[in-house]
Structure 1
Amino acid sequence: MGRSTAEVDENQGEPEVGRIREAAEAADWAAVREQLTERPESEDRTWLITAVAETANVENWIPQAVEAEPGSALPLLVAGARHVNWGWEARTGARAQHVSREQFQVFHNRLRTAEKWLYAAAEREPEWVSPWYFLQMSGRGLQAGQTVARRRFEAAVRRHPHHLGAHQQHLQQLCDKWGGSHEEMHAFANRAVRDAPAGSMLGQLVALAHIEQWLALDSGADAEYLGQPEVTASLTEAAERSIWHEDFAYEQGWLQVYNTFAMAFSLTGDRELAKPCFEGTDGIITRFPWYYLDADPATAYRENRAAAR
């Protein structure tokens, strides 16, 4: 079943992600810009911009690119995206009660700067979806509220109706921990899958919703929740409309979708259903969502894959 010594692939099986990371690490804006302009303003470009946004020190050189190209939206978009990620780096993934006042101040300052750049990019290129994807992330950090979050999500999907990243961000917004509810979260996931074409990667949302509810529950109650037959039925139906459908869209992010279903079925104990999901990954591990199970996602993946065998 795939590779025997699986490790996390930070590029998620996409060589161009590695190339743009290298260019960003080298502060080579010309190479970054060239690669971004080669991709349509859609999921593909959002994916690559995310890789740049996750790269350390981009915040030190991207303002010069903004100044050098005053008429261009692209450096504004990249600068905004980096500041969103940079802001969340300052906050860390800790619970709010474990984040200091100083951390929150840095977090919010960086997000406010990000929003200025992202709105400027959106004004210059009103058809672009990527600014609205990153504005969903900054808005959640700034606690802009559910109404603003919904408007930003709607702005994204008007431009790209089945944008996986935009849907993932809105699902997060609807989680109980961000002011939503389990009911809203599941309703959104199910509606998105129902309205999407067969074979859409949006099937992942159903699996993510079940994982998020599992994370929110206390020990014991979490296993009881995932052990319910209706959870398995829900996951199976979503997989059949997504990764197991003959028209499954092997687009940017498809490996993460397979990994998510593999983890979800592993958590429910449905090893026979988890097995084809693991096989579909061909041993390529995405950090998300396995880091929910272990600080070393590869360990979590390998242990659960072995059980599925």
Structure 2
Amino acid sequence: MKFWGRRSTAPAKRTPITGHAWIDPILDAAIAEVTDGHLSAAITVLAEVRDDPETRDLRLDKLTNAIPLGRADDIAELAVEHHDPELALLAGSCYAQEAGAIRGGGWASTVGEERFQLVRATAGKALPFLHGAAEALPDDPIPWAELMSTAVLLGIKREQHDELWGEVHRRCPTLWTANQTRMWLLCEKWNGSHDEMLRFAHQAANEAPAGDPVTAVVAMAIAEFLMYEGREHDAGRDRRRFQREALTKSMSMVEGAADKWLRAEKPHPRAIAAHNNFAVVFGLAGHEQRTLLHLLGMRDRLTGFPWDYFEAEPGDLFHEFVEKYWPADLEVTDPDADPEPVVPPRKPCRGPCPPTAHT
């Protein structure tokens, strides 16, 4: 009988689902059609949510990802032939995706000028289609959000970025993708600064209505800061120590953003993505109760960002957090079932506690 020694690795308590951080059966059916080479369902599911920017934004994103690279020209021809704003959106989004694939995910210093020229030429093809979609549906913020992402690939001036953000903000200030793109544009990695990025995230969370998961832009910004500054620290204990110390200084802001969302939480297509962002930041901070709360909210569905900022395989950090924070006797058998309402932990107070406020 063995009384000491290295404990054998326990089997994973949860099996993560990667690349599917949403619950939208209609979108799933349309993706299946797109995968088989048919666009009619994609056009339909985009058109039916013209008055729901967040769902329209999510569907455009995932449908674009499902379309094979190299098909943007074909979709552009259809858009010109049919004068259809949904086809125009898809064409512009596909051109931007192809430009991003040409660029790759590395730092700008690893991309040569010849490749940058090809990136800009491909991204430039998106512009007439996205502007056309914006003209066809003047109240739709999605073409402007796509223009924001495309503009990053084109390397346009900051003033033009500000104008595009203004167009989105006037139409839908809480739009998830636009806020994420704006946060990245302001970060030090993209010639902004940590201060400007964090100020934006804090302001966006403050201005968001209670119950909107866009408050997770605070967690996104913190993750961006930790990744960028963490490069100066060796992987392992030194980097984790830096992360803990940095998070100690910003934890009240992250907690406030999470609480503002969860205390009035409403159904939202980006809720699972928001839980991912908060789970990473609270997990790195060592906050057991809050990390578990957001792991539960994820329903085992992993986004790439921000997990891949801290481990090459997003599932590695997820399993680390499950092992550390998930109680051994807690079993969730149906992650797609409607979860119980999530109520964030409250800080202890002296004397009688006031009623919970929707901040």
Mark yes or no: TM-score above 0.5. Answer: yes
Distance verdict in 2 for CA 1:221–1:151, change over 3 Å: farther
Partner of 2:145: 133
Partner of 1:173: 185
SS at match of 2:280: helix
Q: Matches of 2:98 and 2:64 in 1, distance apart? A: 8
Q: Matches of 1:5 and 1:295 in 2, distance apart? A: 18
Distance verdict in 2 for CA 1:280–1:45, change over 3 Å: same
Partner of 2:17: 7
Q: Matches of 1:306 and 1:145 in 2, distance apart? A: 46
C-alpha contact (below 8 Å) 1:207/1:261 kept by paired residues: yes
Residue 63 (1) aligns with residue 76 (2): yes
C-alpha contact (below 8 Å) 2:308/2:314 kept by paired residues: yes
* Equivalent position amino acid for 1:36 in 2: L
Residue 297 (1) aligns with residue 314 (2): yes
* Equivalent position amino acid for 1:110 in 2: T
Partner of 1:19: 29
Partner of 1:252: 269
Q: Find 1:157's aligned residue among 169, 189, 208.
A: 169
**Greater Cα shift, 98-107 or 222-231:** 222-231
C-alpha deviations, 1:249-281, integer Å up to 9, x for none? Answer: 321111010011000111122233211111222
SS at match of 1:93: coil
C-alpha contact (below 8 Å) 2:72/2:91 kept by paired residues: yes
Partner of 2:47: 37
- TM-superposed CA distance for 1:158, in Å, is 0.9
SS at match of 1:139: helix
Q: What pairs up with 1:154-303 in 2 under 5 angstroms?
A: 154-217=166-229, 218-219=232-233, 220=238, 223-224=241-242, 226-228=244-246, 229-242=248-261, 244-245=262-263, 247-303=264-320
Q: Mind listing any 5+ residue stretches in structure 2 that lack a counterpart?
A: 1-11, 327-359
C-alpha contact (below 8 Å) 2:102/2:115 kept by paired residues: yes
* Equivalent position amino acid for 2:245 in 1: G
Q: Find 1:47's aligned residue among 58, 61, 76.
A: 58
| Percent of residue pairs identical | 23
| Structure number with bigger Rg | 2
C-alpha contact (below 8 Å) 1:13/1:284 kept by paired residues: no
SS at match of 1:287: coil
C-alpha contact (below 8 Å) 1:59/1:82 kept by paired residues: yes
- TM-superposed CA distance for 1:222, in Å, is 7.2
CA RMSD of aligned residues (A): 2.0
C-alpha contact (below 8 Å) 1:204/1:238 kept by paired residues: yes
| TM-score computed with the length of structure 2 as normaliser | 0.80
SS at match of 2:219: helix
Q: Mind listing any 5+ residue stretches in structure 1 that lack a counterpart?
A: none
* Equivalent position amino acid for 1:278 in 2: L
Q: Matches of 2:296 and 2:184 in 1, distance apart? A: 28
Partner of 1:308: 325
Q: Matches of 2:241 and 2:28 in 1, distance apart? A: 37
Q: Matches of 2:128 and 2:179 in 1, distance apart? A: 23
